[in-house]
Amino acid sequence: MVALPAVAAPRASDDARGTVTHCPYCALQCAMSLTPTAGADASAGPPAPGTDPVPPLTVQGRDFPTNRGGLCQKGWTSASVLRTGDRLTTPWVRVRGELRPATWDDALDLVAGKLRALAAEHGPQSVAVFGGGGLTNEKAYALGKFARTVLRTPNIDYNGRFCMASAAAGANRTLGVDRGLPFPLEDVGGAQAVLLLGSNLAETMPPSLQHLAGVRAAGGLVVVDPRRSATAELTADGQGLHVQPVPGTDLVVLLALAHVVLAEGLADTAYLERRTTGLDDLRRCVAAWWPERAEQVSGVPATTLRAVARLLAAASPSRGGAGAYVLTGRGVEQSSQGTATVTAAIDVALLLGLPGRTGSGYGAITGQGNGQGGREHGQKADQLPGYRSIEDDAARAHVAAVWGVDPADLPRSGLPAVELLRRLGTPGGPRALLVHGSNVVVSAPDADRLRERIAALELLVVCDVVPSETALLADVILPVTQWAEEEGTMTSLEGRVIRRRKAIEPPPGVRSELDVLADLAARLGSTVHFGTDPAEVFDELARASAGGRADYSGLSHARLDAEPDLFWPCPATPAGTNPHPGTKRLFTRDFPTPDGRARLVPVDHVGPADDLRPGAPLYLITGRVLAHYQSGAQTRRVPALVRTSPGPYVEVHPLLAERLGVEDGTPVHLETARGGLVARTRVTDAVRADTVFMPFHWSGQGSVNRLTNDATDPVSGMPEFKVCAVQVTRWDGPWDGFEPVDAGLEPVAAGVRGDGGAHAPGTAGA
Amino acid sequence: MSSSSGTTRVVVVGHGMVGSRFADDLHARDAERRFHVTVLGAEEYEPYNRVLLSEVVAGKLDVASLSLPRSVRERTSVLPGTSAVAIDRAEQVVVDSAGCTYPYDVVVLATGARARVPELEGLGSPDDEAALPAGVHALRTLDDAREIVAATVNARTAVVVGAGVLGLEVACGLAHRGLDVTVVHGGPSLMDRQLDGDAGAVVTGELGRLGIGVRLAARTQEVLVRGGRLEGVRLEGGERLDADLLVLTAGTVPEVGLAQRAGLDVARGVVVGPDLAAPADPRVFAIGDCAEPPEGGTGLIAQGWDQARRLALLLTGQRDEPADADPDAAPGPVGAPLPQGGTDVVRVKAVGLDVVSMGVSGTRRGTDAGHRSVRLTDPVGGRHVEVVVADGRVVGATCVGAGQVAADLVAAYTRATPAPSDPAQLLLRPVGGAPEPAASPTLMPDRTTVCRCNGVTKGEIVACWRHGADTVEDVARETRATTGCGGCTDVVCGLLDWLGTTDPDRARAREPRRAVGDVLGEVEEPARARG
């Protein structure tokens, strides 16, 4: 790979002029600056009636250790979501089955009244909250606090359960802490080998590829993916190896690697002796996974498995290598054995002596923008701020003191996401759901069932910026601020806490979720204080996190403004002493376990919950495309991205296509145990002949999550998005092609208007 | 099958790979904590991975890497060094050699198999492995492997009798250690239980390449022993092969003595039904190498482990689903079905030799008219691939020297995935499409994406050039190409160079610079417009 052009004109930004912030999308959180587009003036105050309410912004990449000035197409075009034609600018309330604009007072009164009635009649657990990994730390924290102190419901979870739960569970039980990358991303640049499992960085966070240049030059990039993804292509021409296992067998590949490392004496025995426990049990467990057996289950030749193990070992420090990393992504984690797979990946890393050595390690590549921070501050069913357990009495007492409540009044663990969604509207299950920063009817597995559950609710409240598919099902939609309209912090995939800054005023009629929660708390008669200034909320979050695993107590907005290089844990220090420098690299001395050692945990392969069977003889796997993010609620509203990637498709191997009698572009019908859909074929030899691939960013007919399996990992509760059995047939029936964006909200000419002089949403499909 | 206390006492006879696996599987599925398991192991060792003994012989594996998970669990007691000598079915007790009794509600025989020692002149009693002369070894136990490894220290020449899977693994392993090895095989070709003559011939060629001699259709007449020490073997016909190490890999014999004495039906192995129970006694089950199920015993560990899993499911009354399956789902039939794909994959694990066989191929190919067989034989290239397809799926295959093709066929065979309409496609890895000619801007179609990060096509970059962009920086400013991961910078440079050479008149023809949106908007985008 070559260096970026020395004079990267588009990113030669003038930081003094623009707003220094980060991209709204993924966990790489590329640094960027936002400047008013020439000819527009952002400081002119509210626009005059009839003029453009949101001034256009120009995005420029900004030099930063993670993205080094690079942005992908999503980042470059991110500002256009601010001006999308169907931006929500007034609350909407369902009246006789139809959504109608409402005032904030009317909408919030309705919500508060209904919540109060439900709690009185059915108990506090009848109200559930569903958060998102895109919320700022401040909003995620406030949401957890609101659920526990105002609603007093245990039932709060978030879409991070679909994202990082298995990585978190795996890391916690082995390394003692879950920070996606326990090292700065730039460290990877010096590695001699990188084993990347189930991650398609080239499409999900393209600028990060700059950090793989070194390992590719060394021929050491090993990509494990059933599909020859854009990332797998990076191994071509001697830059590494692409390992293409049968879907759902990544764990077998890892067990075989561990087997070879032990059998061939490649392990770092001094490290294992000094820094780990559990070697004996692990050795016995992997004894059963010799490469020839693993070959039969995974389809990866034994010679390849041995070659990968030797390549990693040669790169590991104990054998004189320049460093090796084992990195996992959703491809291996979104599985009913996701925690086991992450555990096995960490076992391999520990056998080679990687974690805790600078220039080597294990990491999980976080997906969502604030997937890391979002799982640390209390929107997870079993957690309190600071990555504390809600079942730990000391943690409860500490957090309750910060919140000014009695620890006994804090609820205990609630239902994890998939279980929570399954119970909606069922006897004894939640009757109301508040959704923040998540488009569950597109992003959750077995989405048709979820729609049924949502229909059974008595109240669905959705806070969103656009009429997402989930918002359109709501009883009440509350329009909230987004990204460049608000202040806050995010925690990137490296555990670096970064500042999100406001570049423009939100459109009139839009409120921050911090305001919404404070207002609802007051309407519900709570005496607990809810701040609405993000800096103040952050300070409270920092206090609540003090002493927790993710300790932010030495951080503040002011400090983060001055120092963009702070990683948690960063505890407060006594007055008059130097502030804590943050923790770039974890485990350099010991692991945060009771005995300071990492644990090698034996695991075994079971296989997919919905494996091949007569009538469903092929695997269905899902993933992403570069131009879209998550459920696509934002990116499907950006014309340039829709041009690049207009709709869903199914990747089919030429041999399978020939057998099915289809060609590129032919519609095919996909049927799983949960549902069916029709989508266009894309013939490519990048997939295995026993597997079809479909990206998941679309709704309706093209929504592959209507087919995916909601079976969950027994430890993490993570659903098995990534593999299920499918029948594929040529479709000769009627098919209208793909409808890119849902119909959206119809402007209603009723006399109800938002209290901020809101503009009625325009037509959808901008 | 439970005793009055509500618990079920299970006695497992045999603590090998299958017996120990069964104890673990049962424990894992025993959510109601109903089962109390006693495992009797004749060997003093903890369970170890017998499949890998040939790797130990080859010097590729340390003995310590063989240990399998211990069945040290609640409600499970393992008694190593305890030989069961009798099953009293009337009293429902197992008796060991010391006379101790172990009452059971269910007894599971997992006694495995022992090495078959052929009756050869000079060998002594074939039933007494311990009586073999110095230098002669079978390979079935950890002790056997240790002794062979010890013997290789001084041995120069070795003869391996029996060229099945194990024989070939041992031969290659000994050759890998530097011994001069000859394989003596009674059959017409190597591995003739699985491989036909063509495949066997390719394997013979491969062994030759490894320096291993092969004698086919050769019967060993006599083992030559002097002073209690091996000197060599004499074949029928008179050929004498000198050897200071003789390894007998002539197959195995199921350990059925206990069952026989208990009056159970025994053929080659202990006869069991599809439910793995002895027809004569529903409290007695047999799994692994000692068992003879209706589909026949394969001697493969995959079959034994699958039986262990199925029996654990059967005894716990569970369906064949993962532990966290939806409890509200409609109940299915109790007990696990046999896998729909094949389980009889035979794989030679040997240095320098790659042989895989499965299903109805080679000598196991039937005459079924519905079976379509295609083959590729390439003796000089050391390769032979045969694929048999029926009802649209792979029902058998033989692969010698086939690498990834073999791995693909195993995946297709064991999972019963759809085969291509032309099975010949399975003989080779599909040739990938030609890579996009990044280095050849002339040939690249306009719709080719040059910058993936920003979705910029060659056509857009050409348009950009026509509107005045001269450098990578200009192109980056106008199209954002190169501003993501930077990986396409070389290609953009190449495109600009090409344009500079082929379009020198641009300076006169070129249009005034315009904003990026205008440029992007007017470019035809056939690639993007497609779904």
What is the C-alpha to C-alpha distance for residues A352 and A34, in angstroms, rounded to an integer?
44
CB contact under 8 A, A5 and B472: yes
Residue where a domain stops, chosen among A364, A399, A433: A364
Instruction: Give how far B75 is from chain A: nearest CA, Å.
Output: 19
Instruction: Give how far B89 is from chain A: nearest CA, Å.
Output: 34
CA A529 to centroid of chain Cα atoms: 29
**CATH at residue A633:** 2.40.40.20
Which residue of A lies nearest to B63 if distances are taken between CA atoms? A263
As to burial, measured by CB atoms within 10 angstroms (0-12 exposed, 13-18 middle, 19+ buried), residue A697 is buried
Nearest to B408 among A265, A299, A658 (CB): A299
CB contact under 8 A, A287 and B48: yes
What is the C-alpha to C-alpha distance for residues A376 and A364, in angstroms, rounded to an integer?
15
Best to test chain A binding among B328, B405, B453 (most A CBs inside 10 Å): B453
Which of A103-117, A521-535, B357-371 is predicted least confidently? B357-371
pLDDT level of residue A744 (50, 70, 90 thresholds): low
- Look at phi and psi of residue A630 and say left if phi exceeds 0, alpha if psi is from -120 to 50, else beta: left
Residue B217: CB atoms within 10 A of its CB come to 12
pLDDT of residue B164: 94
pLDDT of residue B324: 38
pLDDT of residue B531: 33
* Mean pLDDT of successive 10-residue stretches along chain B, which has 531 residues: 74 94 89 92 85 89 78 80 94 94 96 91 70 89 92 94 95 95 96 95 96 96 92 95 95 94 95 94 96 90 90 81 39 44 86 93 87 95 96 95 94 93 90 54 82 89 88 90 89 88 63 46 36 33
Count of domains for chain A: 3
Instruction: Give how far B367 is from chain A: nearest CA, Å.
Output: 25
Task: Report the run of H or E that residue A384 belongs to, with start and end.
Answer: strand A383-384
Phi, psi (degrees; rounded to nearest 5) at A449: -65, -40
pLDDT of residue B124: 74
Which residues of chain B lie closer than 8 angstroms to A259, CB-CB?
65
Residues A359, A252 within the same domain: yes
How would you classify the pairing of strands B355-359 and B346-347?
antiparallel
How would you classify the pairing of strands A432-436 and A31-36?
unpaired
Give a yes or no: residue A449 inside a domain. Answer: no
Give a yes or no: residue A627 inside a domain. Answer: yes
Residue where a domain stops, chosen among A54, A83, A112: A83
CB contact under 8 A, B417 and A72: no
Count Cβ–Cβ pairs < 8 Å, chain A vs chain B.
224
What is the sign, positive or negative, of the torsion defined by CA atoms of A249, A255, A256, A257? Answer: positive
**All residues at 6 or more sequence positions from B37 whose CB lies less than 8 Å from its CB, including other chains:** B10, B11, B12, B23, B26, B27, B71, B75, B76, B77
Which residues of chain B lie closer than 8 angstroms to A607, CB-CB?
322
- Look at phi and psi of residue B118 and say left if phi exceeds 0, alpha if psi is from -120 to 50, else beta: beta
Q: Where are the beta strands (DSSP E) in A44-138?
A: 57-61, 92-95, 98-101, 127-131
CB contact under 8 A, A2 and B489: yes
Residues A179, A66 within the same domain: no
Which residues of chain A lie closer than 8 angstroms to B517, CB-CB?
none
pLDDT level of residue A748 (50, 70, 90 thresholds): very low
Which residues of chain A lie closer than 8 angstroms to B404, CB-CB?
301, 304
CB contact under 8 A, A264 and B485: no
CB contact under 8 A, B349 and A290: yes
Residue among B248, B217, B249 nearest B235 (CA): B217
Bond preceding residue A569 cis, omega within 30 of 0? yes
Task: Report the run of H or E that residue B80 belongs to, with start and end.
Answer: strand B76-80
What is the C-alpha to C-alpha distance for residues B87 and B103, in angstroms, rounded to an integer?
10
Nearest to B70 among A208, A284, A689 (CB): A284
Residue where a domain stops, chosen among A83, A115, A136: A83
What is the C-alpha to C-alpha distance for residues A192 and A323, in angstroms, rounded to an integer?
5
pLDDT level of residue A38 (50, 70, 90 thresholds): confident
Give a yes or no: residue A460 inside a domain. Answer: no
Give a yes or no: residue A35 inside a domain. Answer: yes
pLDDT above 50 (res A757): no
CB contact residues (below 8 A), chain B span 149-188, against chain A: none
CB contact under 8 A, A643 and B322: no
- For chain B, give me the number of helices (H) and strands (E)? 14, 28
Give a yes or no: residue A721 inside a domain. Answer: yes
Give a yes or no: residue A261 inside a domain. Answer: yes
Instruction: Yes or no: say if A364 and A165 are a contact pair by the CB < 8 Å rule.
Output: no
Residues A213, A359 within the same domain: yes
pLDDT above 80 (res A39): no
Task: Report the run of H or E that residue B383 belongs to, with start and end.
Answer: strand B383-390
Give a yes or no: residue A327 inside a domain. Answer: yes
> Which residue range is the domain that position A40 belongs to?
9-83
pLDDT of residue A603: 95
pLDDT level of residue A763 (50, 70, 90 thresholds): very low
Residues A71, A176 within the same domain: no
What is the C-alpha to C-alpha distance for residues A760 and A753, in angstroms, rounded to an integer?
8
Interface confidence, given as ipTM, is 0.87
- Look at phi and psi of residue A316 and say left if phi exceeds 0, alpha if psi is from -120 to 50, else beta: beta
Over residues A719-729, the pLDDT tens digits come to 999 999 999 99
Which residues of chain A lie closer than 8 angstroms to B412, CB-CB?
689-690
pTM: 0.90
Nearest to B484 among A70, A297, A606 (CB): A70
CB of B494 less than 8 A from some CB of A: no
CB of B65 less than 8 A from some CB of A: yes
The domains found in chain B, sorted by start residue, are: 8-112+255-316 (3.50.50.60), 129-251 (3.50.50.60), 354-427 (3.30.390), 449-526 (1.10.10.1100)
CB contact under 8 A, A649 and B531: yes
- Look at phi and psi of residue A704 and say left if phi exceeds 0, alpha if psi is from -120 to 50, else beta: alpha
Residues A228, A346 within the same domain: yes
**CATH at residue A246:** 3.40.228.10
Best to test chain A binding among B355, B454, B473 (most A CBs inside 10 Å): B454
Which residue of B lies nearest to A233 if distances are taken between CA atoms? B435
Residues A184, A291 within the same domain: yes
CB of B433 less than 8 A from some CB of A: yes
Residues A255, A347 within the same domain: yes
Average pLDDT across chain A, whole number: 91
CB of B62 less than 8 A from some CB of A: yes
Residues A184, A300 within the same domain: yes
DSSP string, A291-354: HHHHHHHH---HHHHHHHHHHHHHHSGGGT-S-EEEEE-HHHHSSTTHHHHHHHHHHHHHHTT-
Cα A255–A258–A263 angle (5° rounding)? 120
Residue range A586-598: average pLDDT?
Answer: 97
How would you classify the pairing of strands B220-226 and A497-500?
unpaired
pLDDT of residue B429: 84
Which residues of chain B lie closer than 8 angstroms to A714, CB-CB?
323-324
pLDDT of residue B366: 83
Give a yes or no: residue A157 inside a domain. Answer: no
The angle that helices A250-263 and A302-315 make with each other, rounded to 10 degrees, is 60
Which residues of chain A lie closer than 8 angstroms to B528, CB-CB?
643-644, 646
What is the C-alpha to C-alpha distance for residues B314 and A255, in angstroms, rounded to an integer?
28
Q: Which residue has the tokens 């526990």?
A: A148
Residue range A139-149: average pLDDT?
Answer: 97
**CATH at residue A72:** 2.20.25.90
Q: Which residue has the tokens 């260096």?
A: A3
Residue type, A140: A
Instruction: Tell me the β-bridge partners of B271.
Output: B292
Residues A228, A352 within the same domain: yes
Residue range A311-321: average pLDDT?
Answer: 97
pLDDT of residue B525: 37
Residues A333, A211 within the same domain: yes
